[in-house]
Structure 1
Amino acid sequence: MEQNTLRRRGLGLRGLDTENLTPGYVLYTPLTSSTTHLISSTTGEEVHRWTLPYRAGRHARLLPDGVTLAYNGAHPTPPDQPSFPMWSKYRGGVMAHVSPDGTILREYRDPLAHHDQLHSDDRRIILYTTMEPLTPAQAARVRGGVPGSEADSNKTIYGDCIRLVLPWESSNHSSSDDFEPGGGGTGGAKLLWEWRAADHLDPAEYPLLPHYARNHWPFVNGLAVDGDGNIVASLRSASKVIVINRDTGAVVWSVGQPVVNQQHCPVVLPPSGDLMVFDNGVFRPEKSKPFSKAVIVSRETKEVGWEWMDASTGGVGFLSPFMGSAMPVKGSSNVLLCEGAMGRILEVTRDGRVVWEFVVPQLRDYRGLMEEREVLQMEKIGSLYESNGIFRAYKYRPEEIPWLEK
């Protein structure tokens, strides 16, 4: 008998409602791979594949020109630190632009980058998340988390930073060494703006939830830019979504539990500025069962104005304890959902109807993709299993990818 749960349940296209489905293509990047896949939402068949020299860091998406793939790859030579096992799994570090034939057009590296990267429409700048070791005094101020779970014997805690960089004015190959003191880089990358959690967040107001390790605070896993140019950030391990004033670095808006819970992927909805968020829901106040859902949170009232959950199972049939995304489908009122941990992608209508379901068929573990020491770390923490997990999924209308039919 087949022992893999996902294979038993079925992979690939699981169902579609052609009448209410938005035509187009879905893009996803399996985390246990170095490939990105574009499939037809009508048939579920693959129509294009990118093969990259680096395993996936988190995700990839097509830029507005419809040709350039913005790929977040795992840094091939990570530093010895940070010394906590999950870093091997969720680090990024290589931000690249890739042509349809897989050619790396340009790349920028930051060895401590992780999770999200936003490439500007004109392909000139990148907004992304990275981190730094906190000083002992800063680390001592961090509240919450599992006692004794800091990164190493020195009790290191890594604090998040957000950087806006101009990476490719002088060279198509650059790195954060270009602007860091003593970095010695020669690629000409310029740091335009930087925000440090340690400088702007009061640890007492943004404590780690009690179930999360004290190695990374506050765990910024998603970014967006609102209509005023301010930065929206999702703080997973603190269950907060915040808006950061670009001029001062101050938090000018925030929302937390029970509205959002260990969330991912904030998306700004024009013209209101309301936020669509993937609410993972591992730990919900006064709830005895975990379940995930998509929500739209009002910037004005901080209340949920719309949500989707799997009502057919009382919520528990849709759960991604980590990763995941919810995004509006362009040219439609539908929403594309990514149950990231299980590699399942859904398209749903605003009235709650599921009109498309696809389960990522690429199943493998990290052997051959990670260094042996990292593979051993994954095995130690129980993460060395066949996975089809994806961080996010994106959908594009046919006219947004003009080269595909040629």
Structure 2
Amino acid sequence: MASYIPLMTTRTRGTTVSWSRANARRLDRQFLSGGTRSARGPAHGVTGTVAAMLGAHAQVLSAAELSIGLRAPGTTRTDVRTALWTDRSLVKTFGPRGTVHLLPAEELAMWTGALSAVPAGGSPFPKDARMTPDQVEEVVAAVAAALEDTELTVDELSDEVIGRTGPWAGDPVMPAFQGMWPRWRQVLHLAGHRGALCYAPNRGRKATYTNPGTVPMPAREATAALVRRYLLAYGPATPAHFARWLAAPRGWAGRLFEELAGKGAIEKVGYEPCGEAWVVAGDTRFPSAAPRGVRLLPYFDAFGIASQPRERLFPGAAYERALAGGQAGNFPVLLVDGEVAGVWHQRRSGRRIAVTVEPLGPLDAARLRALEEQVERLGEVLEGTPELTVGEVTVGGHA
């Protein structure tokens, strides 16, 4: 655990927190600082780790398992799956940016209350494919009713929704991978944000859905709680940073921050990369030492996506090599001393996991040993036998 010193927040003295100290605190609160090994059963565990991250991106479930396991020593993919499907302490659903995440079940009321409060942007669909506000409400209600106390595949759910609403919901107007989806599918993620839907265990190779039975927290309370959680994890941050992470309108985020500042819930501090930014009121202690260590982060890891400003986390050549048009998460990344310093890829065949790491600069002997430990830990998480190659990664970014 890093040693902390308080940040003086009297603005007339001109005290400003540096990128390095802010980054060190984020790493510490993400369980990404310090050593890679400890006894099994760390205090934060699986759900505590996911809570600290503000959700584990799970479009690729193995990536979510790695995000969690690499932060919680002793944890394996089996532990994550047990928490998700047996203990139900985790929920797989649509989270920030409308993407699939693992979220703590005990926090689902906050998440659904906050996510359902984010103003919808303009529809990306052609005019003849869109739904009216009344149709949206009708579909979300139909989804909630159809999934109560049962688990359905998307095709079974589609039949239920169309039967409960009308043939218009089934019009094949949504472009899909190999054909067209029915109209109602455009609000699938919204149903998740409203608490009407979450994932259930697969039936064979098919995903299934159920109703989590969660009542969303009131919007004002939920959004305030989410801002506080975001700033604790990723602050100092601006409303624009929060909006980008959540895929929310900047104006809405700005007004939300202003309201919370007026209540004394958050406060401004000097922040070297962007002049000033926000933290939770009173949360002004930062580590005294710069980040140190080597870490591997998988596809769409929360730290790489949420930490801002992005050009400081991805300095120099990393901005070109490890981002896809400025979008974080498309490449698994190598962190050296808290900043992106390479990319990596894994390919599994049975128990063998071939790991290729491409550093963007030379690694000294100590850092190479630390990388080897990270790869060994990766194998423990994924319950396989890893083999490390340091060389060029020829695989492109994740779509």
**TM-score, normalising length: structure 1:** 0.31
Higher strand share: 1
